[in-house]
Amino acid sequence: MKVLANDGISASGAAAIQASGHELSTTKVAQNQLIDYINEEQIDVILVRSATTVRKDLIDACPSLKGIGRGGVGMDNIDVEYAREKGLKVFNTPAASSDSVAELVMGHMRSLVRFMHDSNRQMPLEGDSKFGALKKSYAKGAELRGRTLGIVGFGRIGQALAKLAIGAGMKVVFSDIHEDNVDVELSFFDGQSAKFTCENVGFDRVLAESDFISVHVPGGDLIGADELSKMKDGVVLLNAARGGVINEEALLDALESGKVAGAGLDVFVNEPTPAVKVLMNGKLSVTPHIGAATLEAQDRIGTELAAHIDAI
């Protein structure tokens, strides 16, 4: 089959696809030229990440397509149900990037409690002239150990984050409409392992009891002004799921009032042009939607996509 990886693919994924005898193109085709390219090249499978969209118009206009693959978890850039109604196979790689996203969230947490996100902005500008003042302004850091992390959405990524947080000495509670209490297993470098039970306390208790709250749901306007008002003063929020799950305007108001001490955002409402007032806020640790962007995750994503193509 002819496969177009329009948003790129790892070297190992490309090798796996080609080793199975498929013809792979990694040409980056502009969205407005994609229909013509697919039809001219008679593409059987299109692979995308977050940049390319596959909507009804493309599906209807490209009869050669047999499959649509998303290198990652969310498929909101694909009209999934419509494609399946038309007989196309639609697949993603939900397990491949869990650890990478979880580690990024932990990175944001550690950065925020020690002001590293702001220090890395200010030290190059004023470190040589205001070293003492900066040292004083960052002197009230905090430790993660002993704090409570509330996770909203306890799927693969939520559970991967729970393992890292437990390893850091945190208490983990969660809210999930699909799960009861969950045993998570930590595996260590020497082959030992240990199980810990995480309790599903429900959404309201996660809001009320958590020092840190991380959201891992596929979308929706989940946390706005009302939900923020129910949280502890000085809470830290994290969103590496979907832009808008935490309402940005409400978050900025809560940061200004001090209700929220800080937030780590990897996703934004207006990607790829997030609001400047969000990007410039000194209480935010921000990254450009890179949750799955590790070499290890991209290798796993590529080989999983190859397996799906073989199945087609």
**pLDDT exceeds 90 at position 50:** no
What is the total count of domains within the chain?
Answer: 2
What residues have CB less than 8 Å from 74, skipping those under 6 apart? 50, 92, 218, 219, 241, 242
Q: Are residues 153 and 228 in the same domain?
A: yes
Cα 49 to Cα 57: distance, rounded to the nearest angstrom: 19
Residue that the structure tokens 């709250």 belong to = 213
| Whole-structure pTM value | 0.89
242/221 Cα distance (integer angstroms)? 10
What is the per-residue pLDDT for 236?
98
Annotated catalytic residue, options 49, 70, 289, 300: 289
Burial zone of 258 (CB within 10 Å; 0-12 exposed, 13-18 middle, 19+ buried)? exposed
Annotated catalytic residue 22: no
pLDDT at 94: 86
Q: Please count the other Cβ atoms lying within 10 Å of the Cβ belonging to residue 108.
A: 27
Q: Is 308 a catalytic residue?
A: no
Q: Do 138 and 160 belong to one domain?
A: yes
Together in a domain, 200 and 279: yes
The residue range of the domain holding 81 is 2-93+295-311
Q: Are residues 257 and 112 in the same domain?
A: yes
pLDDT on residue 74? 81
**Which helix (H) or strand (E) covers residue 75, if one does?**
none
- Of the candidates 32, 33, 27, 21, which has an alpha carbon nearest to the alpha carbon of residue 5? 27
Most distant CA pair in the chain, distance: 66
209 and 267 part of one domain: yes
Whether 139 and 212 map to the same domain: the answer is yes
Quick one: 200 and 303 in the same domain? no
- Looking at the fold, whether 30 and 127 belong to one and the same domain comes out as no
The string of DSSP codes covering 8-32 is ---HHHHHHHHHTT-EEE-----GG
CATH number at residue 6: 3.40.50.720
Same domain, 7 and 129: no
pLDDT at 270: 93
Which residues, 6+ apart, have CB-to-CB distance to 276 below 8 Å?
A: none
pLDDT higher than 90, residue 117: yes
Q: Average pLDDT over the chain, rounded to whole?
A: 96
CA-wise closest residue to 159 among 195, 130, 191:
195
The catalytically annotated residue of 242, 248, 300, 304 is 242
103 is annotated as an active-site residue: no
